[in-house]
């Protein structure tokens, strides 16, 4: 590493730690102080968008003076909602490049998020990485994680490693341990659980789907006891049932994060309670009803997210495609807005024969308690709802009845429910999760698993 590279690395570390300290101070600040900070950033963003970004220059002509708005809520209410289709249709007009900066520092990321509808978001990479790393370190500090913790990471990666270096940003705070890494694509649940017992981590990174299968295996498979202090989850909804099963299986507590490719961190779990706090100094999260008005406390609605610092492609009141419940003010020290839970996603729905869309949610569904159930896929046919599942054994008649009752209620369709256990060589590595559309043909009992899977229509 050259002297210039070393100096650059030192500067990145210094700026990351300074930004972390700023986030930590705001985590302990009063609601009024946080609002003043957020409003100032929001005004800068809107002024930038309306004067320098072509898409917003056309839309925000009615905003003559951002300083006339006295609250962030008032200012946001004056701004239009941005949809996924609008982002894709106006991608060039939404972008801004600062003259004189290296254009290679702007990076685009494409994602289908929770909707299966692709969208591309451009970011100024150095600033995005700096903010993401600072929030990571803030979360570590507020959650009182030790810098020498043993770590295991079981995620959607393509490799295994017994001593993967952690590197920045954890190395900035003196973390010198390595991480045990396992690919959830290439290992069975028993294999993953055996490796977890060997690693004995204090901190365990895993997605919610794999975690549910692992805790079911731990509780039902005759394994020795294991204690994991913190289980860090991302990418999937975490319900109360999974939290309790995880406590029974591993003794520790789930610490969930809500994030997306478009924004990075959106919300972090409260250090005291199970609800989430939006990362308010970084993103402004709204939960709105069908009339685009703020939901009442305890009411569920659509999630709108505003990135306060992405000037490269302002994402203002972006409808991300998730359904959440607005929470009451937290009695813990942090006063950032509360998301009680994420209860649904627009992908989790079905288009009925009359063309209407029906939201589908399995949040706390009774059949998720079935320990034999390892994974599942639902396929909607014109004449049946087919529940394909992976499990050690066949489901019992009572378990199938529970599933049939739940699906009939959730989908609101009068169709027979067929439960089919799939052979491991059919589903492993080919699983496509919860993609529904209107009926896509007639189900016949003689269909092979591959034929059923081949019928899945992606929304």
58-80 b/e with 16+ CB inside 10 Å = b? Answer: ebbeebeebeebeebeebbeebe
- Name the pairing type of β-strands 119-124 and 106-111: antiparallel
Q: What are the backbone angles phi and psi of residue 340, rounded to the nearest 5°? A: -65, -45
Q: Quote the pLDDT of residue 144.
A: 92
Contact 328, 256 (CB under 8 A): no
Helix pair 3-27, 31-52: axis angle to 10 deg:
130
3-state secondary structure 209-263: HHHHHHHHHHHHCCCCCCCCCEEEEECCCCCHHHHHHHHHHHCCEEEEEEEECCC
Using CA atoms, how far apart are residues 325 and 246, in angstroms rounded to an integer?
Answer: 23
Contact 343, 363 (CB under 8 A): yes
Burial of 161: CB neighbours in 10 Å, binned 0-12, 13-18, 19+? middle
Contact 339, 274 (CB under 8 A): no
Using CA atoms, how far apart are residues 270 and 277, in angstroms rounded to an integer?
Answer: 6
What SS3 class is residue 451? Answer: helix
Q: Quote the pLDDT of residue 458.
A: 32
Contact 92, 280 (CB under 8 A): no
Six-digit token string for 324: 């959440």
Q: Read off the pLDDT of residues 229-245 as tens digits, 9 standing for 90 and up.
A: 999 998 677 888 999 99
Residue 218: its H or E element: helix 208-220
Q: Quote the pLDDT of residue 208.
A: 84
Q: What are the backbone angles phi and psi of residue 46, rounded to the nearest 5°? A: -65, -40
Half-sphere exposure of 42 (CA within 13 A, CB side): 29
Q: Quote the pLDDT of residue 438.
A: 41
Would you list the DSSP string of 94-107? Answer: T----TTS-GGGEE
Using CA atoms, how far apart are residues 293 and 64, in angstroms rounded to an integer?
Answer: 23
Largest Cα span, the chain: 70
Contact 273, 332 (CB under 8 A): yes
178-197 b/e with 16+ CB inside 10 Å = b? Answer: ebbbbbbeebebeebbebbe
Six-digit token string for 212: 């549910």
| Cβ within 8 Å of residue 274, ≥6 positions away | 240, 243, 254
pLDDT tens across the length of the chain (459 residues): 688 888 889 999 999 999 999 999 999 999 999 999 999 999 999 999 999 999 999 899 899 999 999 999 999 999 999 988 788 788 899 999 999 999 999 998 766 454 434 478 899 999 999 999 999 999 999 999 998 999 999 987 778 999 999 889 999 999 888 999 998 767 888 889 999 999 999 999 998 878 988 998 899 888 999 999 999 998 677 888 999 999 999 999 999 999 988 899 999 999 999 999 999 999 999 999 999 999 999 999 999 999 999 999 999 999 998 899 999 999 998 889 999 998 865 445 565 666 554 546 665 677 876 766 766 778 888 788 888 887 778 999 999 999 999 888 877 778 889 998 876 655 544 344 434 444 456 777 777 766 776 554 332
Q: Read off the pLDDT of residues 336-395 as tens digits, 9 standing for 90 and up.
A: 999 999 886 544 556 566 655 454 666 567 787 676 676 677 888 878 888 888 777 899
Residue 328: its H or E element: none
Q: Quote the pLDDT of residue 449.
A: 67
Q: For the chain, what is the total number of helices (H) and then of strands (E)? A: 12, 19
Using CA atoms, how far apart are residues 411 and 223, in angstroms rounded to an integer?
Answer: 37
Q: Quote the pLDDT of residue 346.
A: 44
Q: Quote the pLDDT of residue 409.
A: 84
Q: What are the backbone angles phi and psi of residue 375, rounded to the nearest 5°? A: -165, 165
Six-digit token string for 366: 């009774």
pTM of the entire predicted model: 0.78
Q: Quote the pLDDT of residue 155.
A: 82
Domains with residue ranges and CATH for the chain = 349-454 (3.30.300)
């Amino acid at each position: 590493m050259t002297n210039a590279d070393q100096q650059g690395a030192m500067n990145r570390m210094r700026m990351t730690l300074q930004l972390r300290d700023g986030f930590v101070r705001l985590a302990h600040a009063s609601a009024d102080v946080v609002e003043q900070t957020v409003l100032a950033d929001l005004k800068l963003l809107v002024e930038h968008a309306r004067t320098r970004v072509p898409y917003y220059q056309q839309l925000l002509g009615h905003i003559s003076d951002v300083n006339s708005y006295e609250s962030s809520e008032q200012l946001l209410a004056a701004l239009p909602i941005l949809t996924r289709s609008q982002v894709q249709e106006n991608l060039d007009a939404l972008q801004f490049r600062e003259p004189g900066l290296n254009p290679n520092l702007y990076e685009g990321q494409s994602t289908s998020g929770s909707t299966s509808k692709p969208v591309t978001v451009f970011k100024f990479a150095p600033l995005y990485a700096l903010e993401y790393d600072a929030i990571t370190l803030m979360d570590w500090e507020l959650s009182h994680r030790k810098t020498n913790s043993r770590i295991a990471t079981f995620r959607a990666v393509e490799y295994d490693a017994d001593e993967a270096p952690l590197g920045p940003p954890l190395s900035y705070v003196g973390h010198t341990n390595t991480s045990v890494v396992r690919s959830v694509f290439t290992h069975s649940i028993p294999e993953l659980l055996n490796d977890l017992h060997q690693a004995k981590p204090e901190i365990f990174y895993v997605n919610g789907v794999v975690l549910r299968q692992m805790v079911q295996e731990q509780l039902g498979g005759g394994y020795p006891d294991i204690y994991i202090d913190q289980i860090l989850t991302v990418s999937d909804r975490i319900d109360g049932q999974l939290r309790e099963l995880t406590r029974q299986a591993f003794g520790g507590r789930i610490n969930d994060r809500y994030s997306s490719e478009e924004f990075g961190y959106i919300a972090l779990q409260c250090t005291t309670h199970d609800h989430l706090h939006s990362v308010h100094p970084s993103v402004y999260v709204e939960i709105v009803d069908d009339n685009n008005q703020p939901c009442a406390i305890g009411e569920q609605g659509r999630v709108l997210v505003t990135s306060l610092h992405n000037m490269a492609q302002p994402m203002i009141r972006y409808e991300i495609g998730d359904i959440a419940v607005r929470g009451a003010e937290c009695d813990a020290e942090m006063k950032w807005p509360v998301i009680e839970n994420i209860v649904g996603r627009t992908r989790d729905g079905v288009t009925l024969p009359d063309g209407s869309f029906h939201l589908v949610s399995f949040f706390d569904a009774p059949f998720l308690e079935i320990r034999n159930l390892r994974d599942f896929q639902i396929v909607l046919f014109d004449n049946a709802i087919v529940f394909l599942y992976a499990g050690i054994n066949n489901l019992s008649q009572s378990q199938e009845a529970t599933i049939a009752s739940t699906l009939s209620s959730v989908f609101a369709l009068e169709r027979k429910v067929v439960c089919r256990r799939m052979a491991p060589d059919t589903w492993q590595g080919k699983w496509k999760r919860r993609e529904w559309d209107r009926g896509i043909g007639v189900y016949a009992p003689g269909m092979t698993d591959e034929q059923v899977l081949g019928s899945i229509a992606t929304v």
